[in-house]
Structure 1
Amino acid sequence: MFFLETAISLFIGAFLLTYLTIPKIIGVVEHKRLMDDPDHRSSHSSRTPTLGGVAFFYVLVLALFVIRDRDLFDEAMYIIPALTILFIIGLKDDLVVISPGAKLLAQVFAIIFILINPSFTIHSLNGFLNINEIPYYLYLIIAGFMMLTIINSYNLIDGIDGLASVVGIVIMVIYTTIFYMTGEYFFALISITMNASLMAFLGFNLSSDKKIFMGDTGSLMVGLIISILTLKFLALRPTSYTELPFLLENAPLIAISILIVPLFDTARVFTIRIANKKGPFSPDRNHTHHVLIDYWGLSHKQASFIIGCFNLLFVMLFIVLGSTAKNMGMVIMLVSVVIVLGYIFFKYNYNFATLKQKILIKRKVDRIKSKVEESNLSKRKKDRQKPEDKEENIEE
């Protein structure tokens, strides 16, 4: 009962704080002219306010203060400095672009605060691929790499209106359910808080007159929260999994399925960039959401909704399979899906110049087809009029 009351209060409070703060942020950003200027890669055509993630920061800090008594290992005191580091580095990157190396270094420092807390230590993979106990140093390497991957993967999908928010909402709903079922109420409340902020932000992100982007300020912090929740999920005690609808050994695969959208998109984009002899962090329009918009003609809302639905259905499928299937069968299933998706989207393995050329050619072909159809239609009309003219001449 206490959890339900706290959860409702946190959700309403976080939603209202975010919803009421974002218009103020938009006003300040417009007044100081800190808008995001569109370039050749942008999916928007007008200058748009950024820094929407500023609202996430103080809402999360306030929520952690309120629920600090619910944590067992003082996790809130470790999460706050990690959030602060990424908030500062994200804010600086939104205002003055910084190098990927400096951003990565800041992420490493933020992650250290999380890894040294004993609550997040992964002691065993519980038989996944026949791996059980793992040494502490190996945990640090695996967990650190995993958190860096999740943070940057989520940061990279923030490319069109609504996508980062929709994917984040799906992930938070799943983690809220998992941590509620396992009795980890502190992390369930964090998920609820983040979910409320993302829902409030989504309305502005999709708005036509009060649009704002979360920017790196927001995407880095949301990515950090997702990585923390994922790490905690994998560090759960074996007894906690008795309440979950899947086998203990399948937990790593369930985590991958939850994060399938950012992980798949990042792997695909990095592969294409390296194949084109570019740096993995070099910007382009090769992301999955760009393909859906540029080549398949979907709107931002449609692409975000489709990707979000795919994420949710993919997780549900793996939870159902994970309740009975052994992890080797799950691995084969996951690899098969990735190969199929890779084949579908790797057909669009092009750099921006090639993409633009294909789009222009497609538009020219469509215009030619429409002109031909109009010409044929006008000829048919003329042919119909000729017999009528002949009849009039005969009568005369």
Structure 2
Amino acid sequence: MHFILLTLILFIAMISYFNLADKYDIIDKPNHRSAHTQVTLRGGGIIFPIAFIVFCCFNMHMIAEHYWSFGLGLLAICTISFIDDVITLSNKIRLSVHFVSVMLLLYFTGAFILMPFWVWPILFVLIIGTLNAYNFMDGINGMTGLYSLVTLLSLAYINKDIVEFTDLDFIIYPVLACLVFLFFNFRKRAKCFAGDVGSMGIGFWVIGLITLLIMRTGEYKYILLLSIYGMEVVLTIIERILLKENIFEAHRRHLYQLFANEKKISHLIISSVYAIVQLLINIFLIHSQFPLWAIILIIFIPTGGMYLGLKWNLKKEYNL
């Protein structure tokens, strides 16, 4: 009953936001990087910070002691991302807020206590890089919602059956937010896009949970719960560097973009395939007893080879 009420609240919040977005013209207009062609409401990912606010309302007894730093970081990065969705901000402003948010996230997970100080800069770079990977991969209908849902459900399984590393509600709330968001986004013609507020918001929450899990268990293999995103973004950046392109400019070189734009494959099929592949990796990852180096090889040799093969064939076929 509790989760039914929560889902209803999130639906009402989403529909209320649509009315505001329509009134104030908060829309996404297609550009040369876009994989869509219609003008669509932007910022539907505001459902994720709203889900945290609702979480606070139902769990007031835990917020002051356990979740205040995470909440401040999430709301800060979502606020600056939403503003950037509406009016473009300078990189200095965005990165400054991202830095503060990541600092709060690391405090929340206990990383500043559990990890030596020389590791802290590495964690900052990895987390900010992963947040931006989430943003880069948010380009077609269903991608952010489905991929995040798979990762969150994997984390819920780990928390319930492998090792309890957080309160289960802290995972269930973003799961329900993903389902509500997908109801409006996982369509041939989406009602809304996540926007930066969505990709950064759910990315921050997922990364927070994975970091918390790693700090509790000491098992670094769990970073591979985001291995498909990581592989795609890293290989695409390497490709652009080799082509002497500006890696900070918008582009359409991701594999999912090539499938959507050149092959004209349905966004929903592409997003589903990405999510299913990550799910299969997660099943292997969670139950594997291999050492970390072997897990990395087993995951990345076949998936990396498949990725490069598909991309090479597409580029050859369309002279890209």
Give the TM-score taking structure 1 as reference length. Answer: 0.73
Partner of 1:83: 74
Give the superposition deviation at 1:284: 0.8
Q: Which one of the candidate residues 167, 176, 179 is aligned to 2:159? A: 179
Q: Which has the higher contact order (CA 8 A, sep 6+)?
A: 2
Letter of the 1:288 partner, please give it. L
- Correspondence for 1:334: 299
Name the counterpart of 1:195. 175
Partners of 1:122 and 1:332 lie apart in 2 by 31
Alignment of 1:205-354 (within 5 A): 205-207=185-187, 211-237=191-217, 251-256=219-224, 258-320=225-287, 322-323=288-289, 325-347=290-312
Question: Is 1:63 matched with 2:31?
Answer: no
User: Is the aligned partner of 1:105 residue 2:96?
Assistant: yes
**Moved beyond 6 Å, runs of 4+:** none
For 2:154 and 2:186, how far apart are their aligned partners in 1? 23
Distance 2:249 2:306 in 1: 23
In the alignment, residue 146 of structure 1 is paired with which amino acid?
L
Quick check: 2:141–2:187 contact (8 Å CA) kept in 1? no
CA offsets 1:191-239 (integer angstroms, 9 cap, x no match): 110010010110111346761111001111111111111111111146x
Q: Give, in whole Å, the separation in 2 of the partners of 1:105 and 1:279.
A: 22
Aligned-pair RMSD on alpha carbons? 2.5
Letter of the structure 1 residue corresponding to residue 20 of structure 2: V
The answer on whether the counterparts of 1:86 and 1:106 sit within 8 Å (CA) in structure 2 is yes
The residue identity in structure 2 corresponding to 1:318 is: L
5+ residue gaps, structure 2: none
CA contact (8 A) 2:188 2:268 kept: no
Shift of 1:329: 2.2
- State the alpha-carbon separation in 2 of the partners of residues 348 and 145 from structure 1: 33
Deviation of residue 155 (structure 1)?
1.3
Structure 1: state its 5+ residue gaps. 1-7, 124-134, 239-250, 360-396
**What letter matches 2:24 in structure 1?**
K
Tell me: CA distance 1:197–1:160, structure 2 relative to 1, closer, same or farther (3 Å). same
Count of residues paired in the alignment:
319
**For residue 328 of structure 1, what is the amino acid of its counterpart?**
W
Compute the TM-score of the two structures, normalised by the length of structure 2: 0.90
Select between 103-112 and 141-150 the one with higher mean Cα deviation: 141-150
Deviation at 1:112, TM superposition (A): 1.0
Checking the alignment, whether the CA contact within 8 Å between 1:65 and 1:76 is kept in structure 2 is: no
SS in 2 for 1:74: helix
Which letter does structure 1 place at the counterpart of 2:165? E
In the alignment, is the contact (CA less than 8 A) between 2:78 and 2:201 conserved in 1?
yes
Matched-pair contact (CA < 8 Å) for 2:165–2:213 = no
Secondary structure at the counterpart of residue 237 of structure 2: helix
Provide Cα deviations, 1:291-347, integer angstroms capped at 9, x if missing partner: 222344320111111111111011112334x22x23332233234235413422441
Counterpart check, 1:49 vs 2:41: yes
Residues 82, 113 of structure 1: 8 Å contact kept: yes
CA distance in 2, matches of 1:164, 1:118: 24
Verify the 8 A CA contact 2:134 2:199 in the aligned structure 1. Answer: yes
Q: 1:153 and 1:28 mapped to 2: Cα distance?
A: 29
The CA deviation at 1:118 is 6.2
Q: Distance in 2 between matches of 1:234 and 1:49?
A: 36
Deviations 1:121-140 (A, max 9, x none): 573xxxxxxxxxxx521331
Local SS of the residue matching 2:141: coil
